[in-house]
Structure 1
Amino acid sequence: MNKNKVSREDKKYNRFIVALSIAIPIVVALLFKVRLDFELPVFLPPIYATINGFTAIILVIAFIAIKNKKIVLHENLMTTALWCSVVFLIMYVLYHMTSDSTVYEGDLRALYLFVLISHIVLSIAVIPFVLITYVRAITRNFESHKKIAKITFPLWLYVAVTGVIVYVMISPYY
């Protein structure tokens, strides 16, 4: 494939990636200020924590798949991981729009806050990495895809795993 064509195609997506990378955290922050006065029919935190767990498992399996040259399986798993993250985010925001935040009251508060803060900061930072990695794959720019995937994978995996850890640590206080 012509390198200039790939470069132009990547650039076509760059505005979209930048816009989403800025818009998602801002919209989430704004929606946290919105209060919906109704109770959800289900308690969302264990559901979205489970989705985070599934995302972590899917990421690991996708990593193994690509190492074993199972490209179609890898592609399908990564698309699934991306959609799991979207569903997680929707549920997370919906929960916080309908419920008060829960305060951690345990003895491991410093550890909890470290995990929570690193999870939040990296969940924002990983957005452009995930999008760029995904775009480089769909535009068939595999060399660039591999380079950024080496950064994206551990960041995304950390966010998914720490999402579960945060839930487990705070679950006694719901």
Structure 2
Amino acid sequence: MIQISTFPHILAALNALTLILLIAGRILIKNGNRQAHKKAMISALAVSVVFLTFYIIYHANSGLARFGGHGIIRPIYFTILLIHVIGAAAIVPLVPLAVWRAAKGEIERHKKIVRITWPLWAFTAASGVVVYFLAVRLYPYA
């Protein structure tokens, strides 16, 4: 059984893996490797679904995380967190729409939505790792 106290570490690892897969997917499609791109992006989607499952379980059982930092780091942290949360909410409809368009073969429409979705998804994954390091590793609530 996984202890709830390990969930933040798992969530950060899943965010990092998502970011790696997103970057790989982007590089692969830029190099014209559609099949490998598809695999990387489906993997990123699958990891994100696992992340969301763990996230819901974690917050249903532990509530909201508390931040222990003081001084200038506090507004910096909460600014990053706010932008992260807004990005996370925004990608919930955008990612499935991008996947749907690709699956239907609507490549031009897929490219159009991905111009917004990919950077937002990548930023959300990266900022999730930053939030983890700030709140759990550097400035835990005492």
Compute the TM-score of the two structures, normalised by the length of structure 1. Answer: 0.74
Counterpart mapping for 1:41-60 below 5 A: 41=3, 43-60=6-23
Partner amino acid, structure 2, of 1:162: S
Percent identity, aligned pairs only?
37
1:79 matches 2:42? yes
Runs of 4+ in 1 over 4 A off after TM superposition: none
Aligned to 1:88: 51
Aligned to 1:62, what secondary structure does the other structure show? helix
Q: Distance in 2 between matches of 1:135 and 1:68?
A: 22
Aligned to 1:62: 25
Give the drift of 1:40. 4.9
1:156 matches 2:121? yes
Q: Distance in 1 between matches of 2:65 and 2:42?
A: 32
Give the drift of 1:99. 1.5
Aligned to 1:55, what secondary structure does the other structure show? helix
Partner amino acid, structure 1, of 2:38: E
Counterpart mapping for 1:117-156 below 5 A: 117-156=82-121
In the alignment, is the contact (CA less than 8 A) between 1:123 and 1:159 conserved in 2? yes
Give the drift of 1:102. 2.6
Compute the TM-score of the two structures, normalised by the length of structure 2. Answer: 0.90
Give the drift of 1:100. 3.7
Q: Structure 1 stretches of 5 or more lacking a match?
A: 1-38
Residues 1:170 and 1:150: Cα distance change in structure 2 (over 3 Å): same
1:111 matches 2:111? no
Deviations 1:88-141, CA, capped at 9 Å, x for gaps: 011011111222433112130101101111111111111121111101100000
Deviations 1:4-37, CA, capped at 9 Å, x for gaps: xxxxxxxxxxxxxxxxxxxxxxxxxxxxxxxxxx
Aligned to 1:169: 134
Q: Structure 2 stretches of 5 or more lacking a match?
A: none
Q: Distance in 2 between matches of 1:93 and 1:158?
A: 20
Q: Distance in 1 between matches of 2:32 and 2:2?
A: 43
